[in-house]
Amino acid sequence: MNLNKIQGSLAYVFRNRELLERALTHSSYANERATADNERLEFLGDAVLELAVSALLLERYPEAREGQLSRLRSRLVNTEALARVARDLGLGKILRLGVGEEQTGGRDRTSVLADAAEAVLGAVFLDAGFARARKVAVAWMEAPLERLADGDGVDLRWKNSRSQLQECIQRDRHQTPTYRVIGREGPAHEPVFTVEVLAGSDVLGTGTGRNKREASHDAAAKALESLDVLR
């Protein structure tokens, strides 16, 4: 089994490659070959993912209430979402499946892929600990969280400075704020972006962050603070 591509996608090289092999071993294959399957790693990965995402949401949205955080987490961590992660990683192509599971389309079955993604995360946890596993989980959640924060069917006004600023500017100026990147510093693996938010040609605020999303939200928050001062 060639594991180099998946390790590249994870940005992590396993010290114990057998853990990754086990994470990619479906029970149907294990039953045919009398070897260990990925179900125990899936169980562990599920717990690691829930903790990592919970910590991420608490950090990103300090004003959110428990129920709001729970609903958002359920949108991020579910079978469909995890299967999408697995497809992005290319797990379906390298899963070890039994003959019957292979013949009935298991390589692209949503539940099989979601379980494999959790198992891979569990394997990372056993190989390198929670800090590394959390980093992998956060990387998986960045794009889905970005979509939700941009209004993908979820009202995030309670925690989204961009949404709050947009309401304010549309109400007071009948304009929609725009964002532009004006700087990027630091090494490639740890960049710092600088973004400014504008209403027309007026710069309302400037923010920084580890990615464009964080920087834009910081800029919106600074703009809201400035508008409060000006009132």
Q: What's the mean pLDDT in 186-200?
A: 91
Give the other-Cβ count within 10 Å of 187's Cβ: 7
Of the residues 21, 37, 42, 46, which is catalytic? Answer: 46
For 208, list phi and psi in degrees, rounded to 5.
-130, 160
Q: Tell me which of 125, 149, 173 is where a domain ends.
A: 149
- The reported pLDDT for the residue numbered 145 is 84
CATH number at residue 13: 1.10.1520.10
Does 143 lie in the same domain as 217?
no
The predicted-structure confidence for 221-231, as pLDDT tens digits, reads as follows 889 888 763 33
108 catalytic? Reply is no
Indicate the residue among 87, 115, 149 that finishes a domain: 149
Asked if 144 and 172 sit in the same domain, the reply is no
Decide if 26 is inside a domain. Answer: yes
Q: Residue range 98-114: average pLDDT?
A: 92
pTM for the predicted model, two decimal places: 0.67
Find out whether 59 and 130 touch, Cβ atoms under 8 Å: no
- 74 and 16 within one domain: yes
User: How many structural domains does the chain have?
Assistant: 2
Residue 214 maps to which CATH number?
3.30.160.20
Instruction: Tell me the mean pLDDT in the region 103-130.
Output: 95
Chain-wide mean pLDDT for the chain?
88
* pLDDT at residue 132 is higher than 50: yes
pLDDT at 167 over 70: yes
The residue from 84, 116, 149 where one domain ends is 149
Active site residue 228: no
Which tokens sit at 100?
Answer: 């019957």
- In angstroms, rounded to a whole number, what is the distance separating the alpha carbons of residues 44 and 120? 10
Query: For 146-158, what is each residue's pLDDT tens digit?
Result: 777 655 444 454 4
Are residues 185 and 77 part of one domain? Answer: no
Query: Which pLDDT score, from 0 to 100, does residue 152 have?
Result: 44
Mean pLDDT of 13-41: 95
Residues 59-102: pLDDT tens digits?
888 777 787 788 889 888 999 999 999 999 999 999 999 999 98
Q: What is the DSSP string of 157-212?
A: TTT-HHHHHHHHHHHHHS---EEEEEEEES-TTS-EEEEEEEETTEEEEEEEESSH
Instruction: Name the residue range of residue 183's domain.
Output: 161-230
Give me the catalytic one of 37, 101, 115, 118. Answer: 118
Choose between 228 and 14: higher pLDDT.
14
Per-residue pLDDT at 219: 92
CB-CB neighbours of 205 under 10 Å: 22
- For residue 12, being part of any structural domain is answered with yes
